[in-house]
Chains A and B, each alone.
Chain A
């Protein structure tokens, strides 16, 4: 069974980069173009891990985490946030909302895979 990733990012470039890396590494890749779509897609995709951007239209990354962790969905899957800054308060806020970890953009393939491995145990 491939590990299923749901990536939520409004940037086509980032989605493409994630898709390229993850598919090559053997993950099953799904993506959404904003937070709202991501949350809506979640039940159908039923991913093993969620990667979400912070700044997005419709519903931002914090909103995504809250809705996924909230009583409605009550998801326990790891959620990694994508951030450009290594700003501690941003990470703290994401974690406060229930994020599992973070990936700093720009990311290289290895750090992306390494981050996924630490939260899903999957190397692929």
Chain B
């Protein structure tokens, strides 16, 4: 039970941290609306409240400090100057880090933690600082201090409520009942003060009670019963126990209440002086709190209409939502996938029946197909989430990277409401982080260099998302120095990635950044270095069925473009046959298809062949050969699928025939069999057979012809 509540807490933390980030970003952008400040305060406060429930002390302590500073801001005692805003932004980042550590384990950067705490403290007035957060309960029976062997004791209690008590909803009867549960209780009503009927004021309090309680509970618990009426009654509690027990109980009581113990109740062991001097907080408000005229209520009454209008805004705002376990949605997605397969099977079966008139059936089948597609889109929409939270986290990455490199950068987000499959969003986090760190580290220049180049001192990185013809396009554009091509080329030569005399186009040089083991940093900076290169980013993107490109203009900046499929579950594929096997090639990677004739084929070296297309040569990769398949029939690979790799390299995949172009359901091979070079995943076709989904990129990478052609071309370019 508590496990799932804790899960809820972390989920809620994510939302609250987003709200905090969003608010701070608005503040950074100059929006100092009190409601923005209030919303942040509440968010941090809620994190603190929840964290306390799970004993996450670091988180509680930090959130408290953070919240206190915000309280100062919202009470107009503190101005939101740029320095403070920066501190708040860093604090918000640290709060996220603390939540992460609390959830996933790991280490908190102690030094950073302490620095921020100290920085926040500077904004907190002395008195507030002393007001420490007490992570403890009310002192109910469970929280009772460890008192020596419980001994029965008799307490004589005199309880005389003031009339103010009745306005608070406290009932003497319930208090007595609570006492009665602790032991033996005798209640005597004292009505001596009751005036004559004529002089009686109905709103006044005339009754008093004398109680005798025999209990094993310590004095602290007995006193805790009267906690809520403290200051609203005349109360004395006299015990007959030994002094030592009382001293213990008193100490416990002191610890329990931030306010002093009930003044009249204290027997011989004198309370400390601090307690005496602070006996005022629960003084009732001077006039009796009649429902009609409550003095304390006045100021809030004034703000009531505001709250009212706020409510209406809110009501029309968020639409009702439903939280569903992800697993249920995924089951549904799977079922829809099966439904699509089922449709193809049915269509095929009907075609096989050789019935002369199938028009009616086909109409219904078409309806079936459309419905299946509607359901599929509906379910996909459930999994789709806006990229906003992801983008907001990236703002933090840029801030951290800027601080570490002593550069000033701002991140501008665009298209935050673009919706992308949840898994894609999750798996985009690492590549985006890496690209952004790189952009700050290598792209954006130092402020003085920027100034010298006639640019603003503040570097700008634009992170945008948009839908583009069935794909999601994510762009990371910086206005930095652009790719330093001579240097990139030099490094690539030094690392043996390209021959020394290679002539490369600008695009080819830029794409070297994605080559495994490439790093342009002169020294491995602790930021984007760590021996991880952009090749990891590229792998992550291609792992999602996407592509990544870079374009760059010297002095103007670089743009990384990531194109991703809308969903990971279904894709458009071309169904082909290769050596009597049916296979699927992703449509996204195909540029053109053609039937080849003998005069289009030219040889390259001993085994290689090139396809001549409109005067250009393209290496031919035989898919069957690449996958280690042998043709048994006489059929020849006579159909070519022209595909283009990330580096702009073109290649013709040779297959036997093209059958169809259709939507296929992607079935991952993970855990079914090991990695098969050239195969990305599998799918089930209409006839129930399993077909492999090919990965053109890796087929080309493994092709000797493509490699030979590439070398040849570089050599000829160089000469």
A binding-site residues for B, Cβ under 8 Å: 10-14, 16-17, 20, 35-36, 53, 55-59, 62-63, 66, 69-71, 74, 76-79, 82, 84-89, 91-93, 95-115, 117-121, 123
Q: Within 8 Å CB of A100, what residues of B?
A: 168-170, 228
Chain B residue nearest in CB terms to A101: B228
A62 to B291, alpha carbons, bound, how many Å?
Answer: 14
A12 to B285, alpha carbons, bound, how many Å?
Answer: 34
A16 contacts B291, C-beta separation under 8 Å: no
26 A-B interface contacts by CB (under 8 A): A12-B11, A35-B307, A36-B307, A53-B49, A55-B42, A55-B45, A63-B307, A69-B167, A71-B291, A84-B45, A87-B258, A88-B258, A91-B259, A91-B281, A92-B282, A92-B283, A97-B300, A101-B168, A104-B137, A106-B54, A106-B135, A110-B137, A110-B143, A111-B140, A114-B140, A121-B177
CB contact under 8 A between A76 and B169, given known A63-B304, A91-B281: yes
B52 contacts A105, C-beta separation under 8 Å: yes
CB contact under 8 A between A121 and B173, given known A10-B42, A103-B138: yes
B45 contacts A104, C-beta separation under 8 Å: no
A69 to B296, alpha carbons, bound, how many Å?
Answer: 13
A65 to B177, alpha carbons, bound, how many Å?
Answer: 25
Q: Within 8 Å CB of A110, what residues of B?
A: 137, 140-143
- Identify 6 new A-B residue pairs, CB closer than 8 A, beyond the known A12-B12, A92-B283: A14-B53, A17-B5, A57-B38, A100-B170, A114-B141, A115-B140
A70 to B12, alpha carbons, bound, how many Å?
Answer: 33
A9 to B173, alpha carbons, bound, how many Å?
Answer: 28
Chain A residue nearest in CB terms to B64: A84
A79 to B501, alpha carbons, bound, how many Å?
Answer: 83
Chain B contact residues: helix, strand, loop or mixed: helix
B612: Cβ under 8 A from any A Cβ: no
Q: Within 8 Å CB of A108, what residues of B?
A: 137, 140, 142-143
B45 contacts A118, C-beta separation under 8 Å: no
Q: Within 8 Å CB of A16, what residues of B?
A: 5, 8
B300 contacts A118, C-beta separation under 8 Å: no
A86 to B295, alpha carbons, bound, how many Å?
Answer: 23
Interface range on chain B (Cβ under 8 Å from partner): 35 or more
Chain B residue nearest in CB terms to A105: B49
From A35, A78, A92, A101, give the contact of B227 (CB < 8 A): A101
Shortest CB distance B515–A (Å) = 47
Lowest 9 CB-CB distances: which A-B pairs, in order? A110-B142, A114-B140, A96-B296, A101-B228, A88-B281, A111-B140, A106-B52, A111-B137, A111-B138
Q: Within 8 Å CB of A117, what residues of B?
A: 174, 177-178, 181
From B135, B143, B282, give the contact of A91 (CB < 8 A): B282
Among B45, B303, B304: residue with most chain A CB under 10 A: B45
B324: Cβ under 8 A from any A Cβ: no
A57 contacts B5, C-beta separation under 8 Å: no
Chain B residue nearest in CB terms to A49: B169
Q: Within 8 Å CB of B140, what residues of A?
A: 108, 110-115
Q: Within 8 Å CB of B139, what residues of A?
A: 111
CB contact under 8 A between A12 and B8, given known A58-B310, A108-B142: yes
CB contact under 8 A between A13 and B168, given known A87-B131, A118-B228, A121-B177: no
Q: Within 8 Å CB of B53, what residues of A?
A: 13-14, 17, 105-107
A86 contacts B258, C-beta separation under 8 Å: yes
From B134, B174, B224, B294, give the contact of A120 (CB < 8 A): B174
Shortest CB distance A51–B (Å) = 12
Shortest CB distance A42–B (Å) = 14
B142 contacts A66, C-beta separation under 8 Å: no
A21 to B131, alpha carbons, bound, how many Å?
Answer: 29
Shortest CB distance B170–A (Å) = 5
Q: Within 8 Å CB of A58, what residues of B?
A: 307, 310-311, 314
A107 contacts B137, C-beta separation under 8 Å: yes
Q: Within 8 Å CB of A95, what residues of B?
A: 168, 232, 282, 284
Chain A residue nearest in CB terms to B221: A114
B261: Cβ under 8 A from any A Cβ: no
A82 to B48, alpha carbons, bound, how many Å?
Answer: 13
From A13, A70, A104, A114, give the contact of B134 (CB < 8 A): A104
B672: Cβ under 8 A from any A Cβ: no
B301: Cβ under 8 A from any A Cβ: yes
From A12, A20, A66, A101, give the contact of B294 (CB < 8 A): A66
Q: Within 8 Å CB of A104, what residues of B?
A: 134, 136-138
B355: Cβ under 8 A from any A Cβ: no
A106 to B259, alpha carbons, bound, how many Å?
Answer: 18
B39: Cβ under 8 A from any A Cβ: yes
From A76, A97, A101, give the contact of B297 (CB < 8 A): A97
B300 contacts A62, C-beta separation under 8 Å: yes
A33 to B300, alpha carbons, bound, how many Å?
Answer: 20
A86 contacts B134, C-beta separation under 8 Å: yes
A91 to B266, alpha carbons, bound, how many Å?
Answer: 22
Chain A residue nearest in CB terms to B142: A110
From B49, B173, B294, B301, give the contact of A11 (CB < 8 A): B49
A36 to B12, alpha carbons, bound, how many Å?
Answer: 21
Query: Could you give, for residues 274-316 of chain B, a 1 whenever the CB lies within 8 Å of some chain A CB and a 0 otherwise?
Result: 0000100111110001011011110011011001001100100
A106 contacts B296, C-beta separation under 8 Å: no
Chain B residue nearest in CB terms to A92: B281
A119 contacts B174, C-beta separation under 8 Å: yes
A121 to B175, alpha carbons, bound, how many Å?
Answer: 7
Chain B residue nearest in CB terms to A12: B12
B9: Cβ under 8 A from any A Cβ: yes
A60 to B639, alpha carbons, bound, how many Å?
Answer: 71
Query: Could you give, for residues 53-73 of chain B, a 1 whenever the CB lies within 8 Å of some chain A CB and a 0 otherwise?
Result: 111000000001000000000
B46: Cβ under 8 A from any A Cβ: yes
Chain A residue nearest in CB terms to B174: A121
Chain A residue nearest in CB terms to B304: A63
CB contact under 8 A between A88 and B134, given known A105-B52, A108-B142: no
B1: Cβ under 8 A from any A Cβ: yes
B171: Cβ under 8 A from any A Cβ: yes
B514: Cβ under 8 A from any A Cβ: no
Shortest CB distance A95–B (Å) = 6
Q: Within 8 Å CB of A78, what residues of B?
A: 169-171
A78 to B133, alpha carbons, bound, how many Å?
Answer: 26
Query: Could you give, for residues 497-511 of chain B, a 1 whenever the CB lies within 8 Å of some chain A CB and a 0 otherwise?
Result: 000000000000000
